């Protein structure tokens, strides 16, 4: 039987087969070499059209070696189809050009946060956060510390070369004392720039992490150790044990100004004394299980005491004839824009829906622009951000003009105004103009303008029950005189839609009917 050895190099699997009829090493004809690329890598790398068969990394860079080790482990574990790679800013960002897996590119430092969301949304997925030192240990410090502290079941591979490689060689959080960079030309001085961060040791002080190790790409022996660490980190995630973190000391020949051989030697001789190679954590964390929050009625969660004889809204009988409804509410600060959104999501909760509310506002208390995103859904909500709402509630002309183009074709715009602007045109949506502020003023307070708009919204869309709206108002509004105005405002908004909004072509100004 033939003897076979396997060596990985630059993403290639090199098999040397010794033929059985002649095992003499001196006979070159006895050998057959078979070169193949790991199936974890794309056949062609599209980042540079003229160099589709090679990576963009500098000669001697450690990223290529780490890519190879990760690909080998994922292939051996058979998890290619369920792996999601999260890459932030830095040299690590281009992993999505090479790995034929799920890829998500995120903002600088945010990989652990994105990886957390992806893993929680898909617990069966293998989620990898792949980061450099300028990313993870600088702008992303809070993200990695809190992900580790929560024990998120992700694998983090931290490539530490002690410098900002992509942006010109500035001092990084892991730049060593005395090491020169473009922003520390005299060398890092603890009195001025502080000491380098030791991320493996820092995270090892936390209770939740399952596995933390520091390895180095300095020679074959240490590369094999890195290979084992990377595989173990992925196995820990596969087995659902907990958070795993591998710090990899890596050469950066170009920015260091060294040739590849010298750079690898520098990792061993200079970096490892500062960043000792070690297994800092290897245990199953003792995180309490079965501590999910109790399933309680919304009224209990919100601290609401039902009034005697009041209808039970904890299990709404309202017919929700939708999968989800996305609403954007926009206007000026002081018009109750954010409050209207909050009232809607509380109504949604009481009717058993999934809800989200995302506010956006400037520093001004009054007159500044403000809007919020509201989603009511029968299913889990993937993101609170709404790019194309089904409904736009525009409390003023500025908001109407700013957001009307975002509304889905066939959607609805409710505009707080007696008539639409003469030059406004939105042919693919239904636009209803209503003098909500004037109606509220006649009822006793312009503060109720948003409640008039809420009544119109409920009547036009039938997304929530008016009875639920009334119960929310009764619990939230403590001033009896204002509560009475709000009751009337809610009814007035509904009546306007029923009696006036759809009489004639009121949805477009003259000339656009």
Topology given in CATH for the domain delimited by 41-282: Rossmann fold (3.40.50)
Q: How far apart are CA 281 and CA 475, in angstroms?
A: 51
Burial call 466-494: b when 16+ CB within 10 Å, e when fewer = bebbbbbbebebeeeebeebbbbbbbbbb
The pLDDT of residue 50 is 78
**Cα–Cα–Cα angle for 412, 414, 418, nearest 5°?**
140
Q: How many CB atoms lie within 10 A of CB 226?
A: 26
| Cβ–Cβ < 8 Å for 408, 386 | no
And the tokens for 92? 């690590």
Enclosing H/E stretch for 59: none
Give me the count of residues in the chain: 513
312 versus 93: the higher-pLDDT residue is: 93
Enclosing H/E stretch for 244: strand 244-249
Rounded to the nearest integer, the mean pLDDT of the chain is 86
Distances (CA, A) of 412 to 179, 253, 363, 404, 419: 61, 59, 29, 9, 16
Confidence of residue 484 (pLDDT cuts 50, 70, 90): very high
And the tokens for 259? 């040739």
Q: How far apart are CA 127 and CA 130, in angstroms?
A: 10
Nearest CA-CA partner of 134 in 98, 158, 157, 154: 158
Lowest mean pLDDT of 96-100, 115-119, 289-293, name the range: 289-293
The pLDDT of residue 317 is 64
Lowest mean pLDDT of 123-132, 259-268, 421-430, name the range: 421-430
**Does the pLDDT of residue 359 top 90, yes or no?**
yes
301 versus 472: the higher-pLDDT residue is: 472
The pLDDT of residue 67 is 94
Average pLDDT of 426-449? 93
pLDDT in tens, 400-420: 999 999 999 999 999 999 999
pLDDT in tens, 15-29: 445 555 554 545 555
User: Three-state SS for 5?
Assistant: strand
Q: Supply the pTM of this predicted model.
A: 0.66
**Does the pLDDT of residue 422 top 60, yes or no?**
yes
Average pLDDT of 199-224? 96
**Does the pLDDT of residue 325 top 70, yes or no?**
yes
The pLDDT of residue 215 is 98
The pLDDT of residue 321 is 78
List CB contacts of 142: < 8 A, sequence separation 6 or more. none
Confidence of residue 132 (pLDDT cuts 50, 70, 90): very high
The pLDDT of residue 363 is 64
pLDDT in tens, 21-60: 554 545 555 556 556 788 899 988 887 777 777 778 888 9
May I ask the CATH architecture of the domain 319-501?
Answer: 3-Layer(aba) Sandwich (3.40)
């Amino acid at each position: 039987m033939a003897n076979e050895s396997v060596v990985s190099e630059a993403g290639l699997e090199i098999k040397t087969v010794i033929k059985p009829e002649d095992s003499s090493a001196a006979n070159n004809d006895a050998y057959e070499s078979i070169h193949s690329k790991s199936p974890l890598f794309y056949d062609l790398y599209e980042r540079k059209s003229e160099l589709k068969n090679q990576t963009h990394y500098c000669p001697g860079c450690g990223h290529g070696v780490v890519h190879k080790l990760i690909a080998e482990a994922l292939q051996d574990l058979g998890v290619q189809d369920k792996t999601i790679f999260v890459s932030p800013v830095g040299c690590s960002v281009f992993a999505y050009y090479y790995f034929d897996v799920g890829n998500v590119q995120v903002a600088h430092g945010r990989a652990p946060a994105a990886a957390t969301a992806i893993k929680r949304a898909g617990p069966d997925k293998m989620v990898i956060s792949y980061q450099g030192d300028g990313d993870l240990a600088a702008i992303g410090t809070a993200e990695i510390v809190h992900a580790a502290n929560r024990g998120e079941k992700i694998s983090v591979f931290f490539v530490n070369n002690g410098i900002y490689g992509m942006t010109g060689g500035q001092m990084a959080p892991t730049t060593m004392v005395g090491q020169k960079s473009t922003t520390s030309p005299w060398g890092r001085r603890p009195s001025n720039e502080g000491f380098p961060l030791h991320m493996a040791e820092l995270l090892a002080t936390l209770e939740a992490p399952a596995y933390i190790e520091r390895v180095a790409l300095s020679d074959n022996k240490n590369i094999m150790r890195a290979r084992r660490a990377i595989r173990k980190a992925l196995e820990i995630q596969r087995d659902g044990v907990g958070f795993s973190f591998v710090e990899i000391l890596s050469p950066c020949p170009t920015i260091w100004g060294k040739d590849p051989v010298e750079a690898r030697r520098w990792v061993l001789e200079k970096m490892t004394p500062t960043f000792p190679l070690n297994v800092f954590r290897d245990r199953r964390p003792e995180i309490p299980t079965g501590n999910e929050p109790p399933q309680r009625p919304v009224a209990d969660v919100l601290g609401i005491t039902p009034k005697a004889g009041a209808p039970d809204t904890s299990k709404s009988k309202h017919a929700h004839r939708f999968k989800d409804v996305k609403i954007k509410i926009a206007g000026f600060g002081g018009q109750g824009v954010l409050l209207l959104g909050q009232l809607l999501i509380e109504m949604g909760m009481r009717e058993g829906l999934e809800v989200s509310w995302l506010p956006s506002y400037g520093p001004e208390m009054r007159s500044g622009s403000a809007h919020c995103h509201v989603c009511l859904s029968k299913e889990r909500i993937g993101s609170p951000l709404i790019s194309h709402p089904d409904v736009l509630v525009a409390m003023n002309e500025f908001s109407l003009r700013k957001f009307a183009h975002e509304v889905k074709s066939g959607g609805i715009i409710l505009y707080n105004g007696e008539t639409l602007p003469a030059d406004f045109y939105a042919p693919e949506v239904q636009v209803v103009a209503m003098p909500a502020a004037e109606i509220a003023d006649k009822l006793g307070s312009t503060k109720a303008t948003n409640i008039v708009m809420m009544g119109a919204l409920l009547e036009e869309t039938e997304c929530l029950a008016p009875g639920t709206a009334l119960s929310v108002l009764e619990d939230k509004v403590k001033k009896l005189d204002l509560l009475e105005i709000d009751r009337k405002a809610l009814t007035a908004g509904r009546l306007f839609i029923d009696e006036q909004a759809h009489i004639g072509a009121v949805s477009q100004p003259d000339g656009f009917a």
